[in-house]
Amino acid sequence: MRKRNILAIVATLTVFNLSFISFTKAQTQYSSFLADPSGALREHNVDMEDMLLDIHFKPEKGLVEGKVTYTFTPIRSKIDSLYLDGPEINFKQVTLDGNDVKYKKTDAGITIYFSTPLIWDAKHKIMLDYEAHPKKGLYFIGWNDSTNRSRKEIWTQGELTDNRYWLPGYDDPDDKLITEVLVTFDSKYKVLSNGAKISEKDNKDGTKTWHYKMPHPHALYLVMLGIGNYDIFTTKAASGVTINEWYNADVPEKREPTYRYTDDIMNFLEKEIGVPYAWGSYSQIPVQDFLYGAMENTSATIFGDFFEVNNREFLDRNYIGVNAHEMTHQWFGDLITCRSGRNMWLHESFATYYAKLYSRHHFGEDNYRWNCRGEANAALAASKTDQNPLEYSGAGGRIYPKGSCVLGMLRYVVGDEEYHKAVAAYLEKHKFDNVEAYDFRIAFHDVLGINLDWFFDEWIERGGEPHYDVSYEQGIKSTILHIKQTQTINDVLTYFKMPIVAEVHYTDGTVDSKKEWVEGASSTITVPNTGGKTIDFVLFDPNSEILKSYVFHKGFEEWKAQALRAPNMIDRYDALVALRDTDINKKRDLLISVYNKETYQATKTEILSQLAKDDNTQTYSLFKKAIADNDYDARNAAITNINKIPASDMADYEKLLNDSSYHIEEVALGKLCEEYPDKKAEFLDRAKDIQGINLTGRIVWLRLSIEADRNKTDNLNTLIDYTTPAFEFRTRINAFQALQALNYLDNKTLRSLFDASLSWNSRLAGPANDVLTFYYKEDNYHKMIKDFYDNGNWTKEQKETLGKVVK
Ligand SMILES: [Zn+2]
């Protein structure tokens, strides 16, 4: 599935009737402790085998004209009709095996009636000739930009059920078919679709016909099109898989930084997953105004062009993680596919987990543990809203972070090689087919003889996470940890059973450890201390293998020892976090000495944030050192957290106005201008060439320049221009928000604002609506907005949207 910004996902709070909760768990293939009607399997009466689509467009009119032919076989003894999804599609002709058939168009699709019932096992062909002005699923970008500056593109986004708006068919993931696509379009552009390019033929009318065909079956929602002004760079993975890197032809310098490590990711995944890439070639294509981060269409991933970066922008944002995520989906999601929304975690948790594994491979163990921590925090935060299980259609955004943590724990429980073997067997057994959670669970029993019912029960079929309260006492020849589980127990949340390590570090530098099952309301772990050594610090679950929250009762000296001497970064980080409320004078020396030992950004960043408000010369020296650090994150944390820039250190901070990172330059410019307004003109002059991804830095520079001198109309006009549909959506949002900060609105901006508020792209419409709402509440602008609305010629739908703001 599409990779979304996890923080932006509002988990669906599913209202469920308690009487539906199953109190005894039946050994079925579809386990759930919650009623899940939305996750039910859809019924259908034929098996789709292949699809041939012949399609063309009139982009200025937003028109799709297509002919689609499906080969299918009835899977009931006798069928007299066939229903296909296709909302708002206008059908011109429908034939069965070449002969016209009766059909009835409904709001959601089409029912085709057979004069003689079709019997099972016989193959038939149904052809639909149609046209559509799709509201979803297929998007025309920039074709109506009156200034002719926007990129012109056509692209699709099928998941979950949006392909049906431009491609009628059985649009559910539980029936796979071989797809073949012929696209005829203006020969100035390039066209990408799924599978191998069979041919690219010139037509006499200045168009070309591109012909793509999939080598194996996949689900209909994974059918894609990407059309625009692109160039293509082709390379090969170690296994021989062809990798096509599509890039916008106007920015060739962005190709390499954008796709950096792509072949390495493919090499890594083929080895790590243990099953070869199945689709022959792999293409990726950036598109403007994409609705999500990226989408794993089979053999042809689409991603937002906000990931298309040059060498300098690469420091501030890169595509590596999303690249690995979508590529993983080529196995988990595309090669094997869940039948319904109940098991989306079988796609997203794996894509998130293997992307994290690639990060470990490339960036090291600390990076991996830090990613695990971010996921654990997201999972625990989601549980504050609801405690829905992973295997549940209402699981929400937790299928990404929690699912990834759970797969890491599964591997921790069964062992690396065992995990690897079971996963490969699971993929091989079900390739080009559909799966349920059961198939994954039973693979561990089939391959390794391991019964993982208990693990799936607590981590996948039920919700929530364990909360531990941990303390310890020193026995005569042992250290005894007392562990209580303090989470609320109910029908979907249970006590967790997990093997957990306790590790006792002694003042002489030696360590004793013990791994025990921790389960039920309370347990103990007894770690022998035969030598009667003096304890330096004790760790519960060192390196944070378990997804949990916990309270460990320790004093300052023990946290200090842990911060200085724990072997794993994440345990040292946890010790620092435990000191957040400690008096600054008590911890300052410790924080500074830990900073000087640490190499990883998370611990350094935590220290800088704890010291940010400390008015002390030692602290100022540390910040001065941090802003000159070679590590991007240290410089970023220092300039972001610094509370006051001492005048004596200003020259050092000014150097950040020429930082290699646009983002750091932008933050430094803002801070310096705020603290030393007298020198604003000088700072602005020094940073006058700033750009940044989606013009972020440029827009901050323009806003500050306008604040400094309102008479410079050039800057204001540039900023207003950035709000227009000639620019991609993130630039437009940045510009709207900058103008809002300036409390400036004119007719041109207002026109842009209405246009953006009505966009199909919710990621543009949402922020634009917020800005419009802000202005509408301002006395200066209220009438201007009301007049604009009253004089406009809006459709009923547009009125409904705008009416929420303009009342
Ligand atoms: Zn995904």
Q: Are 216 and 298 in contact (CB under 8 A)?
A: no
The structure tokens listed for 591 are 């924080």
Residues 6+ positions from 160 with CB-CB distance below 8 Å: 1, 221, 341
Distance 320 CA to ligand 1 centre (A): 14
DSSP code of residue 458: I
Q: What is the DSSP string of 251-298?
A: -GGGHHHHTTTHHHHHHHHHHHH-S--SSSEEEEEEETT-SSSEE--T
Nearest to 412 by CA among 330, 288, 499, 354: 499
The structure tokens listed for 178 are 């071989």
Distance 396 CA to ligand 1 centre (A): 13
Angstrom CA distances, 475 to 27, 112, 116, 341, 558, stand at 44, 78, 84, 52, 18
CA 25/CA 20 separation, integer angstroms: 13
Residue with more model confidence, 354 or 493: 354
The structure tokens listed for 353 are 């987990």
Distance 158 CA to ligand 1 centre (A): 13
- Is the pLDDT at 29 greater than 50? The verdict is no
Q: Is 310 exposed, middle or buried (0-12, 13-18, 19+ CB in 10 A)?
A: middle
CA 771/CA 255 separation, integer angstroms: 34
Q: Indicate the Cα dihedral angle 260, 262, 267, 269, nearest 10°.
A: 120
Distance 606 CA to ligand 1 centre (A): 30
Distance 112 CA to ligand 1 centre (A): 35
| Type of residue found at 457 | D
Distance 348 CA to ligand 1 centre (A): 5
Distance 64 CA to ligand 1 centre (A): 28
Please state the rounded mean pLDDT for residues 482-504: 95
Q: Are 379 and 401 in contact (CB under 8 A)?
A: yes
pLDDT confidence of residue 5: 38
Helix residue ranges, H only, 274-400: 320-329, 345-363, 365-382
Distance 547 CA to ligand 1 centre (A): 21
- Is the pLDDT at 22 greater than 60? The verdict is no
Distance 341 CA to ligand 1 centre (A): 13
Distance 18 CA to ligand 1 centre (A): 31
Distance 216 CA to ligand 1 centre (A): 21
Distance 284 CA to ligand 1 centre (A): 15
Distance 2 CA to ligand 1 centre (A): 4
Q: Are 216 and 301 in contact (CB under 8 A)?
A: no
Distance 296 CA to ligand 1 centre (A): 7
Domain edges within the chain: 45-145+152-226, 229-338, 691-802
pLDDT in tens, 151-169: 999 999 999 999 999 999 9
3 state DSSP class of 201: strand
pLDDT confidence of residue 577: 98
Distance 132 CA to ligand 1 centre (A): 28
Q: Classify strands 207-213 and 99-100 as parallel, antiparallel or unpaired.
A: unpaired
Distance 347 CA to ligand 1 centre (A): 7
Q: Are 537 and 558 in contact (CB under 8 A)?
A: yes
Distance 440 CA to ligand 1 centre (A): 18
pLDDT confidence of residue 302: 98
Band the pLDDT of 31: cuts 50, 70, 90.
Answer: low
- Quick one: which H or E segment has residue 178? strand 178-186
Band the pLDDT of 23: cuts 50, 70, 90.
Answer: very low
Distance 333 CA to ligand 1 centre (A): 8
pLDDT in tens, 629-649: 999 999 999 999 999 999 999
CA 774/CA 763 separation, integer angstroms: 18
Nearest to 329 by CA among 346, 349, 351: 351
Neighbours of 761 (CB within 10 A): 17
Please state the rounded mean pLDDT for residues 766-778: 97
| Type of residue found at 788 | F
The structure tokens listed for 706 are 């306008």
125: which strand partners? 71
525: which strand partners? 481
Please state the rounded mean pLDDT for residues 481-506: 95
Distance 104 CA to ligand 1 centre (A): 36
Band the pLDDT of 776: cuts 50, 70, 90.
Answer: very high
Distance 449 CA to ligand 1 centre (A): 30
Q: What share of the chain is helix, strand, coil (3-state, %, to 5)?
A: 40, 25, 35
In CATH, which of 3.40.50.740, 1.10.390.10, 3.20.20.100, 2.70.150.10 is domain 229-338?
1.10.390.10
pLDDT in tens, 516-572: 999 999 999 999 998 999 999 999 999 999 999 999 999 999 999 999 999 999 999
CA 154/CA 251 separation, integer angstroms: 19
Distance 3 CA to ligand 1 centre (A): 4
Q: Are 690 and 662 in contact (CB under 8 A)?
A: yes
Angstrom CA distances, 368 to 81, 208, 352, 423, 690, stand at 53, 47, 12, 21, 33
Distance 138 CA to ligand 1 centre (A): 19
Q: Classify strands 196-202 and 207-213 as parallel, antiparallel or unpaired.
A: antiparallel
CA 335/CA 217 separation, integer angstroms: 9
Nearest to 289 by CA among 424, 180, 151, 427: 151
Band the pLDDT of 33: cuts 50, 70, 90.
Answer: confident
pLDDT confidence of residue 712: 84
pLDDT confidence of residue 628: 96
pLDDT in tens, 234-278: 999 999 999 999 999 999 999 999 999 999 999 999 999 999 999
Nearest to 617 by CA among 590, 648, 639: 648
Residue with more model confidence, 27 or 592: 592
pTM across the whole model: 0.95
Distance 351 CA to ligand 1 centre (A): 6
Distance 1 CA to ligand 1 centre (A): 4
For the chain, give the mean pLDDT. Answer: 94
Please state the rounded mean pLDDT for residues 101-114: 97
- Quick one: which H or E segment has residue 635? helix 632-641
Instruction: Give per-residue burial for 232-264: e unless 16+ CB within 10 Å, then b.
Output: eeeeebeeebebbbbbbeeeeebbebbbbbbbb
Distance 324 CA to ligand 1 centre (A): 10
Distance 327 CA to ligand 1 centre (A): 9
Distance 4 CA to ligand 1 centre (A): 7
Which is the CATH superfamily of the domain at 45-145+152-226?
A: tricorn interacting facor f3 domain (2.60.40.1730)
Distance 723 CA to ligand 1 centre (A): 31
Distance 322 CA to ligand 1 centre (A): 8
Q: Phi, psi (5° rounding) for residue 806?
A: -90, 100
pLDDT confidence of residue 457: 96
Nearest to 661 by CA among 690, 626, 703: 690
Q: Classify strands 109-119 and 102-105 as parallel, antiparallel or unpaired.
A: antiparallel
Q: Are 779 and 763 in contact (CB under 8 A)?
A: no
pLDDT in tens, 338-357: 999 999 999 999 999 999 99
Distance 336 CA to ligand 1 centre (A): 14
Distance 662 CA to ligand 1 centre (A): 29
Residues 6+ positions from 796 with CB-CB distance below 8 Å: none
Band the pLDDT of 807: cuts 50, 70, 90.
Answer: confident
Distance 661 CA to ligand 1 centre (A): 28
Q: Which residue has the tokens 């909302």?
A: 87
Distance 325 CA to ligand 1 centre (A): 6
User: Quick one: what percent of the chain has pLDDT higher than 70?
Assistant: 96
